[in-house]
Structure 1
Amino acid sequence: MGSRGDYRYHWQSHNVKQSGVDDMVLLSKINEDAIVENLKKRYMDDFIFTYIGPVLISINPFKQMPYFGEREIEMYQGAAQYENPPHIYALADNMYRNMMIDRENQCVIISGESGAGKTVAAKYIMSYISKVSGGGPRVQVGHME
């Protein structure tokens, strides 16, 4: 689709549908009810990713979502976390940059119930890193039960 420069940051667009808050630290009250309500509101509008500070919450939609193509890779590659809507690619890009620029080892903890989408999430992270690196860094994957 063109370079990242062709896109406006999501907060600069006037036609971006807002559903709940992207980062739950911005909730007026942070309690279980407010968190559940925000996640439910976002899920009902197919926003499956939400931040709570540096943590990414992902809700398995149990259906194919159009959020994982080349356009999204271009949007998130090299972008700051809050330049685009919450996404697993933002997390993966931050990890990749820390690994390559700062030479820091990276670890991702993916937690959830059986069927929550942990394996799929891990595959999206590995796929993103593979695409942006051109097959570059060696990525080790560990699995914890």
Structure 2
Amino acid sequence: RLESGDIVEVDEDDIEKANPTQFDKVEDLTILPCLNESSILHTLRQRYAANLIHTFAGSHLIVINPMQQLPIYANKIAQMLKGSQQENMPPHIFS
């Protein structure tokens, strides 16, 4: 329904399914029940808004430039994550 009150009909094939809100900030996109372009972008936007710029997509790491300095690349963080198994750590360039 538009602000004017008009109703717009769309074809069911043009609608992508959405995930429940508990999946908004998942660390790995492969666990999304509905894995489609809009749900991936929604998850990445939610994580970015929370300064969670690293996200796994299976064994791949997606990193979005935060356009600001974040204290997540310090030597202390690198040492904490060094030698850890990926599945046991949050998404990070050092994990």
| Shorter-chain TM-score tier | 0.7 to 0.9
Q: Does the 8 A contact of 1:20 with 1:41 survive in 2?
A: yes
Give yes or no for the alignment of 1:80 onto 2:82: no
Write out the 4+ residue segments of structure 1 that deviate beyond 6 Å after TM superposition: none
Aligned residues: 73
1:30 aligns with 2:35: yes
Q: Secondary structure at the match of 1:51?
A: strand
* Greater percentage in helix: 1
- The DSSP-based 3-state class of the residue aligned with 2:94 is helix
Asked whether the equivalents of residues 75 and 84 of structure 1 are also in contact (C-alpha less than 8 Å), the reply is no
Instruction: Write the mapping of 1:45-56 to structure 2, written as runs, cut at 5 A.
Output: 45-56=50-61
Q: Identify if the C-alpha distance between structure 1 residues 24 and 49 changes in structure 2 by more than 3 Å, giving closer, same or farther.
A: same
Give 3-state SS (helix, strand or coil) of 1:20's partner.
coil
Asked whether the equivalents of residues 19 and 45 of structure 1 are also in contact (C-alpha less than 8 Å), the reply is no
Partner Cα separation in structure 2 for residue 63 and residue 87 of structure 1? 16
Q: TM-score scaled to structure 2, two decimals?
A: 0.72
The 3 A distance-change label for structure 1 pair 68 and 19 is: farther
If you compute each CA radius of gyration, which structure gives the higher value, 1 or 2? 2
For structure 1, the 5+ residue unaligned runs are 1-17, 91-145
Q: Name the counterpart of 1:20.
A: 25
Please give the root-mean-square deviation of Cα atoms over the aligned residues, in Å: 1.5
What residue number does 2:20 align with? none
How far apart, in 1, do the equivalents of 2:80 and 2:58 lie? 20
TM-score relative to the length of structure 1: 0.48
Contact map agreement 1:43 1:59 (CA 8 A) in 2: yes
Match of 1:57 in 2: 62
Matches within 5 A, 1:109-124: none
